[in-house]
């Protein structure tokens, strides 16, 4: 199991085991949270390959992934397509409204969903779902309300860490690892 020096709820694995849909924020979770602007005002974001592969592994295990983010970016839309994320909500001011739409679309309950966020706009949704996670650098209020605080920072493997936790909790990790080893 993953060792973690950050405070983690004693039942985090139990909560992760129930997840059928995992929702991710973008800035500070799937990215490092830095905004890089070019001379012409173009915006650049960096995504970590480990995080993307973790999302693909969740899909192989039957866990659906979604993205709900406050910003709108063609890069995020492109990354969602690359990862097979079909539930993408951008430019969202109230994440609970987008979440309600997502529940209607999927027919899932809030307790069957998880969310990984890093700042205050994520807290309402994090407090509603069955499993709440955050990267290491998340705001202290978010860390204190999370079931799982990753060792890694956003955009640097935190998403993969949470994906691995879910896969382990649901009993899929070893099977997927064995497949990756070609055995």
Q: State the Cα–Cα distance between residues 125 and 114, nearest whole angstrom.
A: 9
Percent of the chain with pLDDT over 70: 96
Whole-angstrom Cα distance, residue 4 to residue 109?
A: 29
- pLDDT of 55 > 50? The answer is yes
In this predicted structure, what is the pLDDT of residue 8? 73
Query: How is residue 1 written in tokens?
Result: 């199991």
Mean pLDDT of all residues in 4-29: 87
Q: In whole angstroms, what is the distance from residue 13 CA to residue 31 CA?
A: 24
Kindly list the domain boundaries of the chain, sorted by start residue.
12-180
Q: Is the pTM of this model over 0.85?
A: yes
**Which ranges of 36-151 would DSSP assign to H, the alpha helix?**
49-60, 74-83, 95-106, 120-126, 140-145
| Cβ atoms of 30 and 134 closer than 8 Å | no
Element (H, E) at 166: helix 158-169
In Å, how far are 27, 32, 143 from 40, measured between CA atoms?
21, 22, 36
Q: What 3-state DSSP class applies to 104?
A: helix
pLDDT tens per residue, range 68-113:
999 999 999 999 999 999 999 999 999 999 999 999 999 999 999 9
CATH code for residues 12-180: 3.40.50.1000
Mean pLDDT of 47-53: 96
Instruction: List, for residues 114-162, the tens digit of each pLDDT value.
Output: 999 999 999 999 999 999 999 999 999 999 999 999 999 999 999 999 9
Confidence bin at 37 (pLDDT 50/70/90): confident
């Amino acid at each position: 199991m993953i060792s973690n020096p950050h405070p983690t709820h004693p039942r985090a694995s139990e909560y992760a085991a129930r997840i059928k849909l995992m929702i991710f924020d973008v800035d500070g979770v799937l990215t490092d949270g830095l905004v890089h602007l070019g001379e012409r005002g173009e915006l650049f974001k960096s995504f970590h390959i480990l995080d993307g592969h973790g999302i693909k592994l969740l899909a192989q295990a039957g866990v659906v992934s979604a993205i709900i983010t406050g910003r709108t970016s063609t890069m995020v839309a492109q990354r969602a397509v690359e990862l097979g994320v079909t539930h993408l909500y951008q430019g969202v001011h109230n994440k609970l409204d987008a979440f309600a739409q997502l529940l209607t679309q999927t027919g899932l309950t809030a307790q069957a969903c998880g969310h990984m966020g890093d700042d205050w706009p994520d807290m309402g949704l994090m407090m509603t779902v069955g499993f709440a996670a955050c990267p290491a650098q998340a705001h202290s209020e978010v860390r204190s309300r999370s079931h799982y605080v990753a060792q890694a920072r956003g955009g640097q493997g935190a998403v993969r860490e949470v994906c691995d936790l879910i896969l382990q909790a649901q009993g899929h990790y070893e099977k997927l690892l064995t497949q990756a080893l070609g055995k």
